[in-house]
Amino acid sequence: MRKISMREAINEAMHIAFHSDPNVFTMGEDIAVYGGQLRCSYGLVENFGSNRVRDTPISEMAIVGAGVGAALHGKRPIVELSYSDFIGTSFDQILNQAAKIRYMYGGSVNIPLVIRTQGGAGLGNGAQHSQSLEAILAHIPGIRVVMPSNAYDAKGLLLRAIRDNNPVVFYEHKALYKQKCEVPEEPYEIDYTSDVKREGEDLTIVTYSAMVNRSLKAAEELEKEGISVEVVDIRTLEPLDIDPVITSVKKTGRALVVHEACKKGGFGAEIVAQIQEQAFFDLKSEIVRIGAPNVPVPFAVNLEKMYVPEVSLIVDTVRKMMKGN
């Protein structure tokens, strides 16, 4: 099977959606002629025209607000915010409008809105362009939060999100855009489910987005030492498919939760709480979290490298958890 990058997979998913439904359109800053700040929208305006691929002013408030209005009128907008850090300027549209309208009208209206954005550190974009803010979004009832870790999942999850009648924040990690894996050419959808990326017997790592790949590399290193690690990619924070996580932890008896966002107040705390509530008596050791320190993302290369959890940190943490067991 061919291998394509996550950027190519996202672009392919949008082309498929545009071809299959005339109500699908996209808008954002420089997404038409330039192909988007994220470079995922190339070829759309040439194939579908400027009415369905619209450049906008530099106003996230206007972009999301227009998306909410279009969704209420039966369109399926995909709006692009260049960086998730800018969600704050459109928070009223997300928090008080997109997330609430379907509920307040008793399900009589749909909000099929997809907000594509990027986050994460590691590429030297500085404190205001590198944050992982997914926990804030996942705390808002009424919004889906999707975070793919590879090209295959990105294509299937984006097609699922575009056809969802609820608002979806599709959160892409900037460090994953160039990474390739096998992706079918034909259309397919992936449900909002967790996925066991690697099976193991001794310990479960629960993770998502860019930390999935680092966890898999850590598992490979630990295998050489005779430690068998299972890696569960939750893929969507909301809805959270916790059953595969609980099944895995009950099998291994140990759980390590890994994410790039700040450890304090991060989504990992929710995962830990649910494991503790549903699998407490199956645990052989305490549940451990790995996350970034509670500081803004550094710009300096050496400091940013220290900020993002490394494979070596995951490996060392697993070793400590396995000691004496």
Pairing label, strands 180-182, 195-198:
unpaired
Nearest to 238 by CA among 311, 137, 324, 159: 137
Nearest to 255 by CA among 217, 212, 286, 281: 286
| Per-position DSSP letters for 108-166, written without gaps between them | SS----EEEEEE--SSS--TTS----HHHHHTSTT-EEE--SSHHHHHHHHHHHHT-SS
| Per-position DSSP letters for 158-186, written without gaps between them | HHHHHT-SS-EEEEEEGGGTT-EEE--SS
Residues classed as catalytic: 129
Three-state SS at 245: helix
**Separation between Cα atoms, residue 112 and residue 190, nearest integer Å:** 17
**Separation between Cα atoms, residue 145 and residue 143, nearest integer Å:** 6
Please give the single-letter amino acid code of residue 131.
Q
Three-state SS at 292: strand
Strand extents, DSSP E, the chain? 3-5, 24-28, 53-55, 76-81, 114-119, 144-146, 168-173, 180-182, 195-198, 203-207, 229-233, 236-238, 255-262, 288-292
